[in-house]
Structure 1
Amino acid sequence: MKNRLFQSIDNAPLIVFRIFLGLLLALESFGSILTGWVKNVYVAPKFFFQHIGFEWLQPLPGNGMYYYYAIMGILGLCIMAGYRYRWTLSLFTLLWTGVYLMQKTSYNNHYYLLILVCLMMIFLPANRYASLDVRRNPKIRSLTMPRWCSVVMIAMVGILYFYATVSKLYPDWLDGTFTKNLLQGKTDIPFFKTLFNTKAFYLFIAYAGIAFDLLIIPMLLWRKTRNFALIASLIFHLFNAVTLQIGIFPFFALSFALFFYPPDTIRKIFLRKKPVAETGTPDYQYKAIVYYFFIPFLFLQLVLPLRHYAIKGDVLWTEEGHRLSWRMMLRSRRGYCFFRVVDKETQEPTIYNLQRNLLPKQIGFVSDKPDGIWQMAQHIKKEYQKRGIDVAVYADSKISINGSPYKTFIDPEVDLATAKWDCFFHNDWILLYDKHGNRLP
């Protein structure tokens, strides 16, 4: 097994993946500017909800975030062209991680996946062919790579799909409740509107989602089912691209198929002028990177999504441990929250006007996300402190999961201005219920 991992193979899959990755990064960055996403997320808000612990990361003022994203777009083109590859990819990874951490109102799993994949690609020799780096320094040109370069990418996407499968094994997915709710309102065309509300169809979508996530990796690995799996991937991801409108993620996910096909096949399709490589000899050049980076890295990706099992309560309700766990497009969550501010000196209560300082999407975030509610309480506390007023902040919050009856989410008797946020264990001010809807002590 060790010899097979380090066996040299044609590097066509990695080279083509680098080109696709750079193109998608550029499209994501420039597209965020052109569609108004940067304006809505980083320019228009009066303040931001960063990932807890990264409050010091603030968006650039004025037009700064437009320039920030333009720089990322240019870096994406540089990655695509293989120009100073490791420097440009490292800088892009740093900048992308920055925009990921400086706001979480508009959260998407593929933002996190991009960080992980870009980090992995920094350590892979993806600029050894069809790159400006080779033109600058022909000595680095290579037609091969060790087999593990493909294996680590397959392992990463395999972990993602495994947890995507496991997370769907809960009642509201298995009985079609979530997929029915998801499809409602997606179209005004009578035929599709009727189809999306047909039980057989939304149950089919639910179980097709489970089957796809569970079987896609084994089917891509087996030569006899590989082409069928690719066709299924195209249908699945293009359907998601049209109905869910989740940016580059469907196309990004499709690009991983490159590592499942024989390298010679990828070379013949995408790099026809690339010479046939002499393969089979062991290549231990990057042995230390495998042992000291990729093995610990992939082990971390295996255990990190498990952390919500160690936290008290159902993650579907509490959201504690939800992020970074590949719990993708899994549930609908609706809620509302009123913040009751009490002057500690006069005991006079007032209801905080969220519309005064928050955009509609931010109001949605602080209505049903526990960390959003807590961060909003901290902001209210600081806002009053600037006026010399010491206040207590209470949240009157109710939420519904997948259209279920609304239940009180936050303990209305707890002063969130003085409450602490625990990143690793359950926060006791988030109320818990048993399976019958009865509040737990």
Structure 2
Amino acid sequence: MQAKEKVSALYQKLDDKFAQQFGFKIKDVTFNRIVEYMYAPKDSSSLAVTRILFGLAMLFDIPDERGGASMVKRWGDPNTCHFPLLPFITSVGMPYMALIYAALWIGALCIMLGYRFRIAAPVFTACYWYLFLIEKSFWNNHSYLFGLVAMLLSCTEANCYWSLDAYLDPTTKKSTVPYWNYFILKYQFFILYFMAGMKKGTAEWLTGYSVQNLSEHWVFDPFKFFLTVPQTDYLVVHWFVFMFDLTVAIWMMYASTRHVAMVFCALFHLMNSRLFRIGMFPWVCLATMPLFYPFDWPKKLAPYSKCLYRKAQQTVCSKIKQLRKETICDCLPKDSMDQFDSEEKNTELKEHEEIVTNKTNRNGTDEINKVETKPDICKELANIEENSDKDQNKYVDKEEKPSNEVATIGNDLHKDNKRRKTTVYFIMAYVFIQAFLPYSHFITKGSNNWTNGLYGYSWDMMVHTWDVSTVIVKVVDNDSNEMMYIDPQMYTLNDRWSRHGDMVYQYAHCLKNNLEKVREINWRYPSKVLSRNISIYVDIWCSMNGRFVQRMFDPKVDLLKASWSPFCKVPYLMPLLDEAIHWRKDMDDIRSDVHSWSEYSDVVFFADFPGYDQEKYIPEELQNVTLTILEGDVVFEPEVTQQRIGQSFKLTNGDRIQIIPGTFHKVINIGKEPAFYMYTFFNHTQEEPNVLTTTNVKLPIFKELYRRFFNMLIFADLVIRNIFQLFKFSQCNS
């Protein structure tokens, strides 16, 4: 019985909170009630501030992260390999891409100013998503977020307040907007934080292996007074951030916890701006945090800002008057000075005296009205702001009143109600899609590798740390049996393609097309070109979250003959060697031991599959290089030299062998299980003293601002020159 009473009391408390938030109780929930709630009028000033700050952030984002200042490098070379999401949406190339960037930047400017918003916002959104879809190798969570925010803003009435549209056409000005304008944006940022926390609830993150040694950065210095670096990594970087991402959006929704949550959220984003190179992402998050405050916070803040401005203006004016008076005192004779003092006193009396009005009654007598004291400037400005908004609402209401008959009014109301319901249906669909996409990887299996959620819509922010050790691209001419190795950076803009099965497949076919172009150019020299019958293999060694470095893709699979589908697993993906999990504690101990030998000693751990071999070159700057077998059976084959002709050594658990720097060697796994081994070495290049020592500034604010404005100038120059070139080209053709 007591349990039933507790459940009933809990339900009643929940029902009261629900009614306090939504205006109706849980049992009264209907679709019509939801529509009414979504269209409840809310102050539009906070939405206007969000629009302004987002547009401003995008103005700086376009030259940097969107590649505007490097558009020629990114889109100018037709041989560069790009990785579009859809094969039929590709780059139009230069100089036409300059038009896309120009429309994108002008759209961001118009969003910030609120000018032609209904045209500018969709244009910006379309251009942004076009750039996003034609190049997957630059995808990340915040790039995806910016595209979503732009799309959502273009659907709202963010231009109805504090915008040029409202200034030029007063009929478009509205002091309120439907609540769904705020709901959809707040929900998107709730998903950003909450899903980031959900994705961190994995063993990799909670055991402290996802992000290692991050607390060595200076932003964590306050924690070092009472925590060691490993403790800060584990407790602050991993566990606190996990709880923060999971709950911060909830704390920002409640008034009692909002201020504290805002402080932590602001510090979190400011720290991220120093820790990572993630562009405008922290600043966009900071700009949208006020969405969780009351909707009219800018209007409450604006009058007091005006008040401070007026008071400062009065102070400056009084100081100027005092200075002028002192100057006149020194220059005027005594008689003139007396006259000036009397005039000054009369002026001050007129400014500060109380206003008295005489009023004649019916009997002809005069009665003196009581004089009110001078009102407070701040309150007076606040009242003026509110009255102007009310007058504007009355004006808009009068303009919007229909003059048709009752039947027409009823028909319009029916259409408006139908439109509102349709809008709410779209909102509900968007809510479901955003909640479903982060866990939709069982559908898009072709985009996964060792882990799911490699792309931005997953919100897997910093959950996995990737360390690519080696990327080998081998081309084999099947007619002549000749082999050639391609520099993996030759036709690519970055190395991110090497960690994605879909982009590796696209890279192989792009490389084939480029080699065919080379063959067509050098057709007169058959000995210098490959035949059409070629095979392309990649051998990529990578470590995830500090594990053993291992192969990611099968080096025996010809990628030109391999199949790939977005809905099937990548067939040439090698599995993650979870058999090495039990080595993690030993790896940490070995690292600590090796690093204690010298400041320049280091260790690298490798793992390989049965029947596979690794050919590796040891640079000359590495000394005292030792190969140690941790587990498994391998054969070590050094490079053939005068001292070692055709020698090979079988090594097993605990065996070690010295390796000569500047030579190749091969390690072959001859066992039936994966082999695990490590290289310990001494790096002489790190021992050499630096001739030029540079001091790292902790807060290079002016340097960053200079870089951003300089990139803006480069971007403007490139856009103008390419558009001019396009104009000249069109004139020549005509």
Same-fold call, TM cutoff 0.5: yes
Aligned equivalent of 2:432: 299
1:419 pairs with 2:450: no
1:39/1:247 CA distance change after superposition, 3 Å? farther
Aligned equivalent of 1:401: 544
1:33/1:44 CA distance change after superposition, 3 Å? farther
1:23 pairs with 2:56: yes
How many percent of aligned residue pairs carry the same amino acid? Answer: 26
Task: Write the distance in 2 (CA, Å) between the matches of 1:23 and 1:285.
Answer: 36
Deviation at 1:129, TM superposition (A): 1.4
1:358/1:122 CA distance change after superposition, 3 Å? closer
Q: Which moves more between the two structures, 203-212 or 270-279?
A: 270-279
From 232, 237, 254, the counterpart of 1:201? 232
Q: Is the 8 A contact 2:448 2:569 kept in 1?
A: no
Equivalent pairs, count: 433
From 468, 474, 484, the counterpart of 1:340? 474
Aligned equivalent of 2:29: none
Higher relative contact order, chain-length normalized (CA < 8 Å, sep 6+)? 1
Letter in 2 for 1:210: F
From 145, 162, 172, the counterpart of 1:113? 145
1:357 pairs with 2:491: yes
Aligned equivalent of 2:42: 9
Letter in 1 for 2:229: T
Q: Deviations over 1:215-256 (max 9, x none)?
A: 111101111000111111110000001111311111111222
Task: Write the distance in 1 (CA, Å) between the matches of 2:97 and 2:222.
Answer: 39
Aligned equivalent of 1:212: 244
1:275/1:424 CA distance change after superposition, 3 Å? farther
From 502, 510, 532, the counterpart of 1:389? 532
Q: Which moves more between the two structures, 390-399 or 113-122?
A: 390-399
Aligned equivalent of 1:228: 260
Q: TM-score, normalising length from structure 1?
A: 0.87
Q: Deviations over 1:324-359 (max 9, x none)?
A: 211112221122321222223233332223344345
Long gaps (5+) in structure 2: 1-32, 304-381, 394-412, 520-530, 581-607, 610-672, 674-734
Deviation at 1:55, TM superposition (A): 6.0
Q: Which moves more between the two structures, 244-253 or 259-268?
A: 259-268
- Write out the 4+ residue segments of structure 1 that deviate beyond 6 Å after TM superposition: 189-197, 311-314
For residues 32-431 of structure 1, the aligned pairs below 5 Å read: 36=69, 38=71, 41-43=74-76, 46-54=79-87, 56-58=89-91, 60-61=93-94, 65=97, 68-183=100-215, 198-203=229-234, 204-270=236-302, 274-275=385-386, 287-288=420-421, 290-309=423-442, 317-318=450-451, 322-335=455-468, 336-359=470-493, 362=494, 364-386=495-517, 387=519, 389-431=532-574
SS of the aligned residue for 1:349 comes to: strand
Task: Write the distance in 1 (CA, Å) between the matches of 2:447 and 2:67.
Answer: 39
1:160/1:349 CA distance change after superposition, 3 Å? same
Q: Is the 8 A contact 1:216 1:229 kept in 2?
A: yes
Deviation at 1:413, TM superposition (A): 2.3
Q: Which moves more between the two structures, 426-435 or 303-312?
A: 303-312
Deviation at 1:422, TM superposition (A): 1.6
1:426/1:270 CA distance change after superposition, 3 Å? farther
Task: Write the distance in 2 (CA, Å) between the matches of 1:115 and 1:425.
Answer: 27
Task: Write the distance in 2 (CA, Å) between the matches of 1:197 and 1:389.
Answer: 59
1:92/1:380 CA distance change after superposition, 3 Å? same
Letter in 1 for 2:153: M
Task: Write the distance in 1 (CA, Å) between the matches of 2:570 and 2:271.
Answer: 38
User: What is the RMSD computed on CA atoms of the aligned residues?
Assistant: 3.4
1:314/1:18 CA distance change after superposition, 3 Å? closer
Q: Which moves more between the two structures, 341-350 or 65-74?
A: 65-74
Greater gyration radius = 2
Task: Write the distance in 2 (CA, Å) between the matches of 1:82 and 1:324.
Answer: 28
Letter in 1 for 2:436: V
Task: Write the distance in 1 (CA, Å) between the matches of 2:275 and 2:453.
Answer: 28
Task: Write the distance in 2 (CA, Å) between the matches of 1:320 and 1:343.
Answer: 36
Letter in 1 for 2:487: N
Task: Write the distance in 1 (CA, Å) between the matches of 2:511 and 2:130.
Answer: 25
1:260/1:289 CA distance change after superposition, 3 Å? farther
1:38/1:232 CA distance change after superposition, 3 Å? farther
Task: Write the distance in 1 (CA, Å) between the matches of 2:289 and 2:419.
Answer: 24
Task: Write the distance in 2 (CA, Å) between the matches of 1:55 and 1:241.
Answer: 36
Long gaps (5+) in structure 1: none
Task: Write the distance in 1 (CA, Å) between the matches of 2:77 and 2:302.
Answer: 42
